[in-house]
Amino acid sequence: MQGKQTAQDVLQYRYGGNYERFGGTPPKILYDGYGQVGKNTARGLEQITFENLGGIDGTANKQNPVGQGNPNRTNYINAAKEYQNNKMSGNKIGGRC
């Protein structure tokens, strides 16, 4: 799935409209960004949220979103942290949240 996909497109692609693992309700979209920066930020936010919720045991995920062996893991996490820091300071970059 490449190109200019919306956050809703990604949910549809991943879950095919079946949100049973989430109690029948689609997950809330927390970030919507575009391009490589948007992808990096979204993936990093997904991983950070996954870890904060307790990983596999605390989420509906069947696997770790961005595993330790993912060569882009550092880029994803750094992009997410930069977004979070800018959001907290009132600077807005990379998304429409």
Q: Give the total number of structural domains in the chain.
A: 1
**Is 96 within the bounds of a domain?**
no
The whole-angstrom separation of Cα 28 and Cα 7 is 10
In this structure, is residue 2 part of a structural domain?
no
Is 85 domain-assigned? yes
Model confidence at 97, pLDDT cuts 50, 70, 90, reads very low
Long-range contacts of 40-43 (CB under 8 A, 24+ apart): 40/72, 40/75, 40/76, 40/78, 40/79, 40/80, 41/76, 41/79, 41/80, 41/82, 41/83, 41/94, 41/95, 42/7, 42/10, 43/72, 43/76, 43/79, 43/80
> What is the three-class DSSP state of 48?
helix
Instruction: Domain of residue 83: give its range.
Output: 7-89
Q: Are residues 45 and 39 in contact, defined by beta-carbon separation less than 8 angstroms?
A: no
Question: pLDDT (tens digit, 9 = 90+) per residue, 84-93?
Answer: 999 888 766 5
Per residue in 31-82, pLDDT tens?
Answer: 988 889 999 999 999 999 999 989 888 787 778 899 999 999 999 999 999 9
Q: Is 97 a member of any domain?
A: no
Whether pTM exceeds 0.95: no
